[in-house]
Amino acid sequence: MARTALLNVMTQAAIKAGRSLVRDFGEVENLQVSRKGPGDFVSAADRKAEEIVRAELTKARPTFGLVMEESGEVEGSDGQHRWHVDPLDGTTNFLHGIPIFATSIALERAGEIVAGVIYNPVMDELYTAERGRGAFLNDRRLRVAGRSDLHDMVFGTGLPFIGKGDHGRTLRELRYIMPEVAGIRRCGAAALDLAWTASGRLDGYWERSLNSWDIAAGILMVREAGGFVSDLQGKNKMLDNGDIVVGNEDAHKQLLRLLKQAEAPAQG
């Protein structure tokens, strides 16, 4: 299927940023790194990639606004469109030499996510989706996994950084989910957790306290691959509260049930 002009703009930005990331990944020990908080790193590679994406998107669509992880929000003049940009999702992996990271770009139009691109430059995997037009990995159409037995499923999740999130609750969730499933993975890049759910590698994924740049593209990817997406209450508020549960219909339903049980453990 021929890519639309909009997806061409987004893929070009993501691929250009990805090239810069791969160059920096090769010399990761020489990169300037600082901390936003304990265990929360940002490097020159994040900033460089963000600058590349910003320049590409602004050149192609000068009136659109931007929400970027490293440089914040820039209002657009058209009042309808906003990009959500995570230049390097998986900074901790990147800085530890673990080749699981991606650039994620989504376009919001009048409050709806209408297009998303997630690019893993090390694996040269380009995930694209447009509303109503399906999700693709390179040129292959994506479909979420078809498993229906919880015992066969592998789920992704994310664990909060030092000092962030409720670690007790995270442990409780793991304690409820681990004995029921074939496996749990903490891959370290939310955008890829979502892309991998869209492609059926993971049966589902859940995480809390994320930001729009982490999940906006991935939400569309999972939906366009036939998956279900909600927050932990089963509502469509993921972009407001940053909590997300995804999977095929069965995986999503079962995950929500287990997370609810972990939230309010049975007495006695």
Q: How many of the other CB atoms lie within 10 Å of CB of 178?
A: 12
Element (H, E) at 247: strand 244-247
Is the Cβ of residue 186 or residue 257 nearer to Ca ion in the bound state?
186
Q: Is 210 in the site for ligand IPD (CB under 6 A)?
A: yes
Strand 125-130 relative to strand 134-137, pairing? antiparallel
Which one of residues 24, 50, 56, 86 is an interface residue with Ca ion (CB under 5 A)?
86
Q: How many of the other CB atoms lie within 10 Å of CB of 83?
A: 26
Q: Is 190 in the site for ligand IPD (CB under 6 A)?
A: yes
d(CA 168, CA 189) in angstroms, rounded, equals 22
Strand 204-207 relative to strand 154-157, pairing? parallel
Which one of residues 24, 56, 69, 203 is an interface residue with Ca ion (CB under 5 A)?
69
Which one of residues 207, 214, 231, 243 is an interface residue with Ca ion (CB under 5 A)?
214
Q: Is 214 in the site for ligand IPD (CB under 6 A)?
A: yes
Are 184 and 155 in contact by the 8 Å Cβ rule? The answer is yes
Q: Is 158 in the site for ligand IPD (CB under 6 A)?
A: yes
C-alpha closest to that of 28 among 14, 11, 48 = 48
**CA distances for 125 relative to 136, 137, 166, angstroms:** 10, 7, 33
**CA distances for 89 relative to 21, 119, 218, 224, angstroms:** 11, 10, 12, 21
Which one of residues 18, 65, 90, 116 is an interface residue with ligand IPD (CB under 6 A)?
90
Is the Cβ of residue 59 or residue 123 nearer to ligand IPD in the bound state?
123
Q: Is 50 in the site for Ca ion (CB under 5 A)?
A: no
Question: Of ligand IPD, Ca ion, none, which one does residue 210 interact with (CB within 5 to 8 Å by kind)?
Answer: ligand IPD
Q: Is 89 in the site for Ca ion (CB under 5 A)?
A: yes
Which one of residues 7, 113, 189, 225 is an interface residue with ligand IPD (CB under 6 A)?
189
Q: Is 49 in the site for ligand IPD (CB under 6 A)?
A: no
Which one of residues 56, 86, 203, 224 is an interface residue with ligand IPD (CB under 6 A)?
86
CA 180-174-248 angle, to 5 degrees, is 55
Shortest spacing between CB 66 and Ca ion, in angstroms: 14
**CA distances for 45 relative to 53, 88, 90, 117, angstroms:** 12, 8, 12, 19
Alpha-helix residue ranges (DSSP H) falling in 29-166 = 44-60, 91-95
Interface segment toward Ca ion; rule CB under 5 A; list 63-71, 120-128, 141-149, 217-225: 63-71
Shortest spacing between CB 146 and Ca ion, in angstroms: 29
Q: Is 89 in the site for ligand IPD (CB under 6 A)?
A: yes
Q: Is 91 in the site for ligand IPD (CB under 6 A)?
A: yes
Residues that bind ligand IPD (CB under 6 A): 86, 89-92, 158, 188-190, 207, 210, 214
Residues that bind Ca ion (CB under 5 A): 69, 86, 88-89, 91, 214
